[in-house]
């Protein structure tokens, strides 16, 4: 239990210190693996059953560590039992109950639909090997969605790949760009789940990013690299624009060198 809590404390405080989690911005969910799941065996439910907006049989019976609605990520480090909770889905994936946390009372993040629907996609696409999902507000990535005209998945992926030579290795499938959709809505949840089935990072225009990974470190790392690239990109724009950049040939060579499976359609 201590190890699990330490993991979310580390990730949430890193996010807060980077300025990605102002006020109650940003949220984290971790689908518990076999060992983590067993930690909560024998816990009596602390709440009634709350119906989910749609049934999610793909994640029926699973347990998740989820940050709380209205809670500040920067406070998880101090009071994890207040700012995070563990929920358990029923055997149909139609409702959830609280097993632990949100002291003295509370509920999971308002972005729960995006988290749980994305976990369905992530579990399927990684053959049950990925467990972490993070949504956060990195300043430079958000700024980029204002500063560049006509952004789409192809142009944004290429721009980030070109802004730092490591990007194509960390996210060879690129980043999926979602034009603005209302926060907390089922529409955003569904669009994010579809997007994350294609790529490990999803940009929400004017709002932030979502990332997945085998664990919180991997999800955090992917977002961190994309944010660094966005920062470089904005600095280059502020300095008068790129006078040269990585060519398609160089990008393909990096990917080949590190044996990364690049989404070739992003080059077309
Ligand atoms: Zn947000």
Cα of 120 vs centre of ligand 1, distance in Å, is 20
Backbone angles phi, psi at 28, to 5 degrees: -135, 140
Cα of 184 vs centre of ligand 1, distance in Å, is 8
Of residues 204, 206, 202, 207, the one with CA closest to residue 219: 202
Q: What is the mean pLDDT of the chain?
A: 97
237: which DSSP letter? H
Which one of 7, 62, 88, 111 is the catalytic residue? 111
Report d(CA 104, CA 117) in Å as an integer: 27
pTM > 0.75: yes or no: yes
Instruction: Give the pLDDT confidence score for residue 202 in this predicted structure.
Output: 98
**Residue 256 in contact with residue 201, Cβ under 8 Å?**
no
Cα of 264 vs centre of ligand 1, distance in Å, is 30
Is 77 part of the annotated catalytic residue set? no
Cα of 183 vs centre of ligand 1, distance in Å, is 7
**What residues form DSSP beta bridges with 190?**
none
Q: Which residues surround ligand 1, an ion (CB under 5 A)?
A: 208
Stretch 215-237: mean pLDDT, rounded? Answer: 98
Domain ranges of the chain: 2-267
Q: What is the CATH number of domain 2-267?
A: 3.40.225.10
Report d(CA 25, CA 16) in Å as an integer: 9
Instruction: Give the pLDDT confidence score for residue 113 in this predicted structure.
Output: 87
**Cα torsion through 169, 170, 171, 173, rounded to 10:** 40
Q: Each residue of 149-196: pLDDT tens digit?
A: 999 999 999 999 999 999 999 999 999 999 999 998 999 999 999 999
Cα of 70 vs centre of ligand 1, distance in Å, is 11
pLDDT confidence bin for 265, thresholds 50/70/90: very high
């Amino acid at each position: 239990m201590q190890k699990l809590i330490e993991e979310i404390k580390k990730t949430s405080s890193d996010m807060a210190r980077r300025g990605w989690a102002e006020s109650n911005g940003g949220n984290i969910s971790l689908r518990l693996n076999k060992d983590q799941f067993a930690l909560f065996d024998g816990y009596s439910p602390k709440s009634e059953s709350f119906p989910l907006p749609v049934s999610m049989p793909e994640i029926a019976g699973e347990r998740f560590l989820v940050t709380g609605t209205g809670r500040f990520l920067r406070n998880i480090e101090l009071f994890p039992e207040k700012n995070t909770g563990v929920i358990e889905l029923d055997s149909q994936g139609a409702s959830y109950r609280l097993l632990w946390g949100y002291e003295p009372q509370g509920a999971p993040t308002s972005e729960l639909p995006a988290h749980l629907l994305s976990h369905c996609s992530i579990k399927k696409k990684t053959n049950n090997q990925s467990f972490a999902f993070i949504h956060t507000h990195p300043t430079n990535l958000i700024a980029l969605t204002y500063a560049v005209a006509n952004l789409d998945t192809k142009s944004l992926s290429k721009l980030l790949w070109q802004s730092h030579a490591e990007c194509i290795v960390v996210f060879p499938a690129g980043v999926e760009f979602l034009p603005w959709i209302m926060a907390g809505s089922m529409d955003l949840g569904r669009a994010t789940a579809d997007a994350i089935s294609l790529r490990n990072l999803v940009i929400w225009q004017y709002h932030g990013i979502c990332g997945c990974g085998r664990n919180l470190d991997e999800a955090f790392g992917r977002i961190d690299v994309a944010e660094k690239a966005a920062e470089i990109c904005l600095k280059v724009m502020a300095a008068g624009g790129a006078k040269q950049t990585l060519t398609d040939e160089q990008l393909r060579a990096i990917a080949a060198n590190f044996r990364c499976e690049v989404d070739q359609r992003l080059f077309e």
